[in-house]
Amino acid sequence: MKQHKHIYDAQGRQLCCTQEEKIYTKAHAKELLPGHHERDGHNHEHEHNDDDGHDHSGGDQSAFQMFLPAIISLLLLLTAIAFDNWIIQSWFTGWVRIVWYVAAYLPVGFPVMKEAVEGMGKGEIFSEFLLMSIATIGAFAIRQYPEAVAVMLFYAVGEVFQTLAVKRAKSNIKALLDQRPDEVTIIENEQPKTIKAEEVNIGSLVQLKPGEKLGLDGELISDTASFNTAALTGESKPDTKQKGDAVLAGMINLNSVSLVKVTTAYTDSKLSKILNLVQNATAQKAPTELFIRKFAKIYTPIVVLLAVLICLVPMVLVKDYVFNDWLYRALVFLVISCPCALVISIPLGYFGGIGAASRNGILFKGSNFLDIMAGIKNVVMDKTGTLTKGVFKVQEVNIDPILNKDEIMQMVNVLESKSTHPVATAIHEYVGEINYGIALTNVEEIAGHGLKANINGKQLLAGNLKLLDKFKIEHQIDQSEIVNTLIAIAYDGKFAGYITIADELKEDAGDAIQQLKSMNVMPTMLSGDKSTVVKMVAGKIGIENAFGDLLPEDKVNKVKEIKARNESVAFVGDGVNDAPVVALSDAGIAMGGLGSDATIETADIVIQDDAPSKIPIAIRIGKKTKQIVWQNITLAFTVKAVVLILGAGGLATMWEAVFADVGVALLAILNAIRIQRMKF
């Protein structure tokens, strides 16, 4: 079972999800995201100011500023080559020539050598920085000055393209960080007042003008309002809310001035939790990334050793051995062997997938879940809130005539106020205002059964028929005759009657099931609702495997049965009682709009707009990400293997090595960011 360990501060704010994850403030996160580098299998995360006082991430630099060292180096290199071949060669010799090439080398070479030295100080001896430094210093030693400068120049250009590609890949995620306003306008003493969002108290009234973003979760007080929900759902189409509806931080008010009653603290809003998930998304690595990390640690020292052998072994085997010639071959070998394409493009490919998913309103908590979704064979779904809207309406109220119907319904209404289940909302809407004068004691929610409490010394039960059976309450209900969801009621140890309610299917539920089937993914429905309702819903949307009347432990057992066949399982749910089975599955998917906080915390993937059609989209994004990553791995290994052999045999020059290395890296980067333009 997956375990997500969360740490909270004194105010209840989540600080991290795993030992690897770090949470930053909003300002730091904006600075961190564009420049996260993963080189040579090591995670080089630099905050805005490192110990050396420099920003290694690229920060908010423009593309021109990032390219400036390479431009200076290129101009000096071209000038030197011109002096070498066409212009006033007489004075461009000796120390003048060396100093000129050193000047061309330093803007691009010094940062790399500095990284190599710092890496060795931290015990990271065999890094790509060391490979590049050895190769270029060696080239200077044998007077191959243009090649030495060219190696670092093209490497620097590749680094800039990498940074720009990372920025592009993370742009969708970075945009989320701008969706939560720092200040809001509240109504205090009938006057508007602007204060910091984090200082707003629960129960305060927030005034939203057209075009303003909501800073906290709340309840709409105005009669009606339209919102752009793109920050939360990935969909920019207007969403009209009615008085009493929940509205979330990040939504943009579109038309008229609206009032919202705050229901959640600033740090506990849905958007705050989404930002935490996004900022931590790179902490859990895919198996492919972990493999490349381990591979690089073994590969790099082997390459250095082979380069030494290429230079020295021929000394005893080759008759006309020339040290400079074989040293040149060894240096070419080092340049070609630099694993830039792999260590750049693989993490970038996965983060590109996370960014593409975010743009579609799907949040992956780690790149490993992209790999898992790519191989999913079974999608197991809850019914209520996942395939149905979770908006119940009371259809029938059947209370024993000898009892006072209004009195019984008032008591049930108060009891249901202790539950967050959508059924409770339906009963509240039917009965009306909750009479808090009715005193309840010993209130208990029995998972998979319902609610119980004592009123004036008498026991009140409201739930399914299993609840009545548990307390040995006799009844004469034939479930086969009642299609809709049934809420049985017992009072003072006797059956008092029942309520029937009905839910409505989500518009895209049927399409989601058909898409899953077309991908050879088996859909299964598990629900605590009565079997007749489950079978009816399943028949409408085309699910053959559907099971009702299940307790939370029954759902767990069903998932275990599938996993026993060595088949991967994704479970989709939204309720608190879904958290155990979400944690058990290979990939737990939570419906983030209506979903409970417990399920969202436990889940590996969060669908922000509760649309089941996003499930096949998540699978397609996972498959495409994995395909792109393996394309890059194949390309890098193939090209490098060919050029390594040519370099060791003296058939490839330093120029060809540079173009092979940087060329493959750039192709891999372009391939990795391709997913950002795709439509799923």
Range of the domain at 402: 393-502
Residues 229 and 246 in one domain: yes
273 is a domain residue: no
What kind and span of H or E run contains 601?
helix 597-602
Closest CA relative to residue 184, chosen from 235, 237, 258? 258
Q: What is the CATH number of the domain that holds 379?
A: 3.40.50.1000
Looking at 82-233, which runs of residues are DSSP E strands?
183-188, 191-196, 205-208, 218-220, 224-228
Stretch 438-459: mean pLDDT, rounded? Answer: 90
Residues 208 and 345 in one domain: no
Residue 35's pLDDT is what? Answer: 33
Which position has the token pair 């992956």? 364
- pLDDT above 70 for 133: yes
Residues 138 and 158 in one domain: yes
pLDDT classification of 384: cutoffs 50, 70, 90: confident
Do the beta carbons of residue 412 and residue 379 sit within 8 Å? no
In the chain, what are the helix, strand and coil shares in percent, each to the nearest 5?
Answer: 50, 20, 35
Percent of the chain's residues with pLDDT above 70: 79
Q: What is the CATH number of the domain that holds 215?
A: 2.70.150.10
Stretch 268-286: mean pLDDT, rounded? Answer: 58
Residue 462's pLDDT is what? Answer: 95
The number of distinct structural domains making up the chain is 4
Pairing outcome for strands 605-607 and 362-364: antiparallel
Least confident of 370-374, 398-402, 412-416, 638-642: 638-642
Residue 26's pLDDT is what? Answer: 27
Residue 8's pLDDT is what? Answer: 32
Highest mean pLDDT among 538-547, 568-577, 601-610, 655-664: 538-547
433-440 long-range Cβ contacts below 8 angstroms, 24+ apart: 435/410, 438/410, 438/411, 438/414, 440/414, 440/415
Stretch 273-295: mean pLDDT, rounded? Answer: 59
pLDDT classification of 290: cutoffs 50, 70, 90: low
Residues 607 and 649 in one domain: no
Least confident of 18-22, 118-122, 165-169, 593-597: 18-22
Residue 216's pLDDT is what? Answer: 84
Sheet holding 378-381, edge to edge: 362-364, 605-607, 587-591, 569-573, 378-381, 522-526, 545-547
629 is a domain residue: no
Residue 179's pLDDT is what? Answer: 55
Beta bridge partners of 573: 590
Which position has the token pair 């593409």? 356
Residue 340's pLDDT is what? Answer: 67
Single-letter residue type at 479: Q
Q: For residue 523, count CB atoms less than 10 angstroms from its CB and return exposed for 0-12, middle for 13-18, buried for 19 or more.
A: buried
222 is a domain residue: yes
More confident residue, 485 or 517: 517
Residue 291's pLDDT is what? Answer: 65
Tokens of 20: 């690897």
DSSP 505: B
Residue 30's pLDDT is what? Answer: 30
263 is a domain residue: yes
What kind and span of H or E run contains 445?
strand 441-446
User: Active-site residue 50, yes or no?
Assistant: no
More confident residue, 680 or 538: 538
Residues 237 and 136 in one domain: no
What kind and span of H or E run contains 204?
none
Q: For residue 677, count CB atoms less than 10 angstroms from its CB and return exposed for 0-12, middle for 13-18, buried for 19 or more.
A: exposed
The domain boundary residue, chosen from 246, 268, 290? 268
Closest CA relative to residue 363, chosen from 146, 91, 588? 588
Rounded alpha-carbon distances, angstroms, from residue 127 to 133, 303, 549: 10, 11, 58
- pLDDT above 60 for 85: yes
DSSP 34: G
Whole-prediction pTM value? 0.63
- pLDDT above 60 for 588: yes
Q: How many CA atoms lie within 13 A of 41 on its CB side?
A: 20
pLDDT classification of 165: cutoffs 50, 70, 90: low
Residue 25's pLDDT is what? Answer: 26
Highest mean pLDDT among 2-16, 236-250, 370-384, 594-608: 370-384
The domain boundary residue, chosen from 452, 469, 502? 502
| pLDDT tens digits, 622-669 | 999 999 989 988 888 888 788 878 877 778 777 777 777 777 877 888
Stretch 595-623: mean pLDDT, rounded? Answer: 81
Residues 187 and 256 in one domain: yes
Single-letter residue type at 673: I
Residues 252 and 204 in one domain: yes
Do the beta carbons of residue 227 and residue 248 sit within 8 Å? no
Pairing outcome for strands 218-220 and 205-208: unpaired
Selected catalytic residue, list 40, 239, 382, 661 = 382
φ/ψ of 220, rounded to 5, equals: -70, 125
Tokens of 598: 């417990």
- pLDDT above 60 for 458: yes
d(CA 392, CA 397): 14
Closest CA relative to residue 679, chosen from 365, 359, 372? 359
Percent of the chain's residues with pLDDT above 90: 23
CA angle, 645 as apex, 640 and 650 as ends, to 5°? Answer: 120
Residues 378 and 494 in one domain: no
Stretch 141-153: mean pLDDT, rounded? Answer: 84
pLDDT classification of 354: cutoffs 50, 70, 90: confident
Closest CA relative to residue 169, chosen from 360, 25, 348, 426? 348
Look over the chain and give the mean of its residue pLDDT values, rounded to a whole number: 78
Stretch 553-572: mean pLDDT, rounded? Answer: 89
Residue 292's pLDDT is what? Answer: 63
What kind and span of H or E run contains 605?
strand 605-607
Q: How many CA atoms lie within 13 A of 155 on its CB side?
A: 33
Residues 516 and 571 in one domain: yes
Highest mean pLDDT among 12-26, 484-498, 636-650: 484-498
More confident residue, 479 or 628: 628
35 is a domain residue: no
pLDDT classification of 556: cutoffs 50, 70, 90: confident
Q: How many CA atoms lie within 13 A of 375 on its CB side?
A: 10
- pLDDT above 70 for 240: yes
199 is a domain residue: yes
DSSP 161: H
Residues 168 and 63 in one domain: yes
- pLDDT above 70 for 595: no
Residue 57's pLDDT is what? Answer: 44
47 is a domain residue: no
26 is a domain residue: no
d(CA 457, CA 174): 57
Residues 536 and 516 in one domain: yes
Residues 164 and 285 in one domain: yes
- pLDDT above 60 for 286: no
Closest CA relative to residue 589, chosen from 286, 373, 351, 352? 373
Query: In the 3-class helix/strand/coil scheme, how is 389-409 assigned residue by residue?
Result: CCCCEEEEEEECCCCCHHHHH
More confident residue, 575 or 152: 152
d(CA 188, CA 194): 10
- pLDDT above 70 for 102: yes
Q: What is the CATH number of the domain that holds 425?
A: 3.40.1110.10
Looking at 447-504, which runs of residues are DSSP E strands?
450-455, 458-463, 485-491, 494-502
3-state secondary structure of 57: coil
- pLDDT above 70 for 575: no
- pLDDT above 70 for 446: yes
| pLDDT tens digits, 66-79 | 889 989 999 999 99
Length of the chain: 680
d(CA 208, CA 211): 8
d(CA 559, CA 561): 5
